[in-house]
Amino acid sequence: QCLLSGSWRSDTGCRMVVSILGEDGSFSGSYLPGPAAGDSEILTSPLEGSQQDTGLVPQPIFSFTVRWRLQARTTVFLGQCYVGTNGEETLHALWLLREAAKSPDEDWKATR
């Protein structure tokens, strides 16, 4: 069974710490991007999310949002937690980053 709570590190060096899951699957924690982010002013930022009930599926779907500190941007992650044949848990996720646009004309370049 895959449990999202704990510490995670991505292939690019990002770090995420997830608190103990609530009974409803909700969780909170912190996120720190790795060196690949290229911005030395990015601080550890809070995250909030939810995980599917592991009673329904042993490899649950999850989502969470990171609200970046001192920056006008938010990132959302959507993925699934997998347990390999060796028992190791891995997360596979897609993400979208949204920065504040100065005007509707610049909206097209605000989401990556």
| pLDDT (0 to 100) of residue 90 | 93
Residue 1 lies inside a defined structural domain of this protein: no
- Which pTM does this prediction carry? 0.84
CA angle 15, 77, 19 (to 5 degrees): 50
The average confidence (pLDDT) of the chain is 88
Q: How many domains does the chain have?
A: 1
- Between CA 47 and CA 24 the distance in angstroms is 17
Cβ-proximal residues to 1 (8 Å cutoff; 6+ apart), any chain: 54, 58, 83
Task: Report yes or no on 96 lying in a domain.
Answer: yes
Domain enclosing residue 83, as ranges = 6-106
**Residue at 25: amino acid letter:** G
Q: Confirm whether 111 is domain-assigned.
A: no
Q: Output the domain CATH number for residue 38.
A: 2.40.128.30
* pLDDT higher than threshold 70 for residue 94: yes
